[in-house]
Amino acid sequence: MTSRACILGCAGPVLSDQERAFFRDVRPWGFILFARNIETADQTRALIAALREAADDEGALVFVDQEGGRVQRLRPPLALNRRPAEPFGALYATDPAAALEAVRLNHRLLAHELTALGFDADCAPCLDLRHPGAHDIIGNRSFSQDPVAVAALGQAAMDGLMQGGVAPVIKHIPGHGRAFADSHLELPVVETHRAELEASDFAPFKALKAAPMAMTAHVVFTAIDPAACATVSATVTQEIIRGHMGFDGLLMSDDLSMKALGGSFASRTHASLAAGSDVVLHCNGDPTEMAEIVSKVPELSGRAAERAAAARACARQVQPFDPAGAEAYLARLGLAGATA
């Protein structure tokens, strides 16, 4: 049976009978979990298994936002508190080789912790630039202001995740770093000229165009499409993401429940898919919202299905690893994980 073009969340740490029936009927391509869904190791493994069973798809990717720093859904004792991107970028400014290895090992450790619980996809790394004065929703989640550094460190992060069997999702394409608003709460508008965007914010995404998956930005770029944010803009998707950047991996929307988007959930879903997203993402587990969304979600087919298959193929390919040695390397640089 063919999966539907969506990634969905669930309400709590255990699936309800209603959720099981809903997911059995919908057959989502993937799932995403948050802190509300995670209590213990055994419970998390059981929930992930239940989600895949409900979708009748042992290969369904299960995503989580595990960047380190503020954006980390798994916490001690299930996973160490990892550093955000910023200190790795600071190290890159003085010792690029050490920073690249540190980022790779840090993300290899993230993957090691995730796969132990059954996760096989991480919404990371964040390739947004850090712009002084912009909203802190990105802030220290960014590696640097320098697009060259962000691209290099982002590649190292992707390498670490994939070496650990976890499929990465670069975000927020084509760039959220200039936003002066939090798209969880309102719609950011960026008025920077296209040439400047291409030389800066867009550059890391273009450099990492071979990434298996990317998540869109709920941001309006007036120089490209003043009428619609990137997630629902065919112009941004086709001219910038698929065209200028050359990204041909799986494109997923950012969370459709975020307040940057307007209209009904059905209209948000239709607009995102019509603009060119391969799959839509909905995170909060609200059954009414999900029902409206899936009413507009087709089965995966054509090029979207091919991209989805390629993204899944990046997961679960685990290379040999020495976790203790990786932690020791990071500790020598003052970048090791912590229990508090």
Helical segments of 190-322, H only: 194-199, 203-207, 234-235, 265-275, 287-294, 302-313
Q: Catalytic site residue 107?
A: no
CB atoms under 10 Å from CB of 340, counted, come to 6
- From the list 254, 255, 278, 282, the catalytic residue is 254
Using CA atoms, how far apart are residues 50 and 44, in angstroms rounded to an integer? Answer: 10
- From the list 136, 184, 193, 322, the catalytic residue is 184
Chain-centroid distance, C-alpha 117: 18
Pairing of strands 71-72, 66-68: antiparallel
Residues contacting residue 166 through CB under 8 Å, at least 6 positions apart: 110, 111, 114, 115, 119, 120, 121, 122, 315
3-state helix, strand, coil in the chain (%, to 5): 40, 15, 45
Q: Catalytic site residue 254?
A: yes
Helical segments of the chain, H only: 17-26, 41-54, 86-94, 96-115, 147-163, 194-199, 203-207, 234-235, 265-275, 287-294, 302-313, 323-332
Chain-centroid distance, C-alpha 50: 22
| Catalytic residue positions, numbered | 184, 254
